[in-house]
Amino acid sequence: MKYIFNFPDIGEGLEEGTIVEWLVKKGQKVESGDLLVTMETDKVVAEIPSPKTGIISSLFGKEGETIHVGDALVEIEIEGVAGKEAVKEVEKGSDLEAVKEEGAGVVGTLEIAGNSAVLSGSTEGIGTIEVTKETAKKKVLATPVARAMAKDMGVDINHVKGTGPAGRVTKDDVLQHAESTTQTVSTASSDTPNVENKLVEVEPLSQIRKTIAKNMIRSKHNAAHMSLFDDVEISELDRVRKQYKVKYAGEGVKLTYLAFIVKAVTHALKKHKALNSEMDTENDKMLYKKYYNIGLAVDTEKGLVVPVIRNADRLSIREIAMEIQTISDKAREGKLNMDDFKDGTFTITSYGSIGGKYAVPVINYPQAAILGIGGISKQPVVKNDQLDIGLVLPLSLTVDHRIVDGGEVSRFMNTVMGYLADPVSLIME
């Protein structure tokens, strides 16, 4: 019988951990209690013991890799157990409170430790530790999702009757409990959070949403945001783009306005170094970066991500267009890795294609500035004292006012707009 041991919640309430070191190899025989792997979370390094005796048939994940609680960690072939005996073995249960799942019978029986499996530990050497105060109360068994959901909904999980294995409280139990509670307190005031699951859809926070929230607050807390808005007439840029768009399309390159904007920003950053800098308050220094890595905020199904085009100053507009295409595809397919997000020096967020003209973008801290690109529209403009139809691109620039003074903000914006209004200048300098 194969037994899948999932990465257990080691008790910090964290969703992920890093594989520090494998202590076993594929094909190795292990006894129950033998150490399998060293895992690290934010505050804990733990050597995780095997819940079963058997032979390691698979290790999931490499050293240094981060995995989530509930992800498969190890597959163990349980020795000498087959057929009905295997089922009995499963039914014995384990200190992992495993959830059993019988396989189709073709390749045997598969047992999977539940996503909420807790860290097994030795029963030896139990001292006389008596948990005081808060910990003295026995904690109810519950899945992490159920626990998070109960917390969000303000439900005391200790009052929820569990219907899962070994009485474990599941997501459905919490919802059902909340619903019944709502019905009995239907006269509650409007201040009471509405927990009726028909009106409120409750989902645990995803890791990406937590990261976005943390980064946004960090930026707002540390930087002094100041914004400037302006419009630039880009008929000439539109003409140039159209001229090359078809040619590039034949080569598989999608030439967007954004490629020109990245180039214009990079040129402008070279002239206005404060916009490509970072303030190091702990050492009372300014860090002016002489490399130009432009982050592009990309809207994905899972949330906002900001992959980076490295050394954009060394790339042609065509190469920038190719890079944009590559990172956009990777973002949508969820294939971006940590390296794709590192070391950005300035960020561009382009929301115009979705809708909206101006915004007050939040700086990707500790960067000094972010440029928002609104929707392009035809508008009346004055050219040579004549009213004309112009193609107008709205720009919204937010800077960290600790770093950049107002005059420099305007000068930077003027430089960017100058390049966009006269795109030939982008290749002449």
Which sequence positions are flagged as catalytic? 401
E strand or H helix that includes residue 211: helix 207-222
Give me the 153-182 binding string for other proteins, x by CB under 8 A, dash otherwise: ------------------------------
Rounded to a whole number of angstroms, the minimum distance from the CB of residue 393 to other proteins is 33
Cβ pair 8, 120 in contact under 8 A? yes
Nearer to other proteins, 257 or 365 (CB): 365
Residues in Cβ contact with 369 at an 8 Å cutoff, skipping those fewer than 6 apart? 275, 346, 347, 363, 397, 398, 399, 400, 404, 412
Site for other proteins in 15-34 (CB under 8 A): 18, 20
Of the listed pieces 7-15, 201-209, 296-304, 371-379, which binds other proteins according to CB under 8 A? 7-15
The rounded distance, in Å, linking the Cα atoms of 165 and 284 is: 57
Per CB under 8 A, the list member of 46, 232, 274, 298 interacting with other proteins is 46
| Residue 65 binding other proteins, by CB under 8 A | no
Per CB under 8 A, the list member of 6, 41, 182, 266 interacting with other proteins is 41
Residues in Cβ contact with 407 at an 8 Å cutoff, skipping those fewer than 6 apart? none
Of the listed pieces 105-113, 278-286, 325-333, 416-424, which binds other proteins according to CB under 8 A? 278-286
The rounded distance, in Å, linking the Cα atoms of 84 and 67 is: 33
Rounded to a whole number of angstroms, the minimum distance from the CB of residue 124 to other proteins is 6
Per CB under 8 A, the list member of 32, 35, 270, 310 interacting with other proteins is 35
Rounded to a whole number of angstroms, the minimum distance from the CB of residue 56 to other proteins is 18
Which residues make beta-bridge pairs with 371?
348, 397
**Residue 56 in 3-state DSSP?**
strand
Rounded to a whole number of angstroms, the minimum distance from the CB of residue 320 to other proteins is 28
Site for other proteins in 325-344 (CB under 8 A): none
Which residue, 184, 235, 249, is CA-closest to 383?
Answer: 235
| Residue 385 binding other proteins, by CB under 8 A | no
Which residues make beta-bridge pairs with 381?
388
Per CB under 8 A, the list member of 25, 133, 198, 290 interacting with other proteins is 133
The rounded distance, in Å, linking the Cα atoms of 170 and 265 is: 51
Integer CA distances (angstroms), 170 to 101, 144, 200, in order? 17, 9, 18
| Residue 10 binding other proteins, by CB under 8 A | yes
Site for other proteins in 110-129 (CB under 8 A): 118-127, 129
Cβ pair 231, 392 in contact under 8 A? yes
Integer CA distances (angstroms), 156 to 59, 67, 196, in order? 38, 29, 15
| Residue 205 binding other proteins, by CB under 8 A | no
Per CB under 8 A, the list member of 26, 28, 29, 44 interacting with other proteins is 44
Buried b / exposed e over 227-259, threshold 16 CB at 10 Å, is: bebebbbbbebbebbeeebeebeeeebebbbbb
Nearer to other proteins, 107 or 126 (CB): 126
Which residues make beta-bridge pairs with 388?
381
| Residue 386 binding other proteins, by CB under 8 A | no
| Residue 282 binding other proteins, by CB under 8 A | yes
- Determine the size of the site formed for other proteins (CB under 8 A): 46
Integer CA distances (angstroms), 65 to 19, 114, 120, 328, in order? 6, 21, 22, 24
Rounded to a whole number of angstroms, the minimum distance from the CB of residue 281 to other proteins is 6
The rounded distance, in Å, linking the Cα atoms of 69 and 148 is: 14
Of the listed pieces 73-81, 215-223, 296-304, 413-421, which binds other proteins according to CB under 8 A? 215-223
Rounded to a whole number of angstroms, the minimum distance from the CB of residue 396 to other proteins is 23
Per CB under 8 A, the list member of 84, 91, 92, 132 interacting with other proteins is 132
Nearer to other proteins, 128 or 186 (CB): 128
| Residue 290 binding other proteins, by CB under 8 A | no
Buried b / exposed e over 371-398, threshold 16 CB at 10 Å, is: bbbbbbeeeeeeeeeeeeebbbbbbbbb
Which residue has 């240094």 as its token pair? Answer: 64
Q: Which positions touch other proteins (CB under 8 A)?
A: 9-14, 18, 20, 35, 40-47, 49, 95, 118-127, 129, 131-135, 139, 214, 217-219, 221-222, 281-283, 365
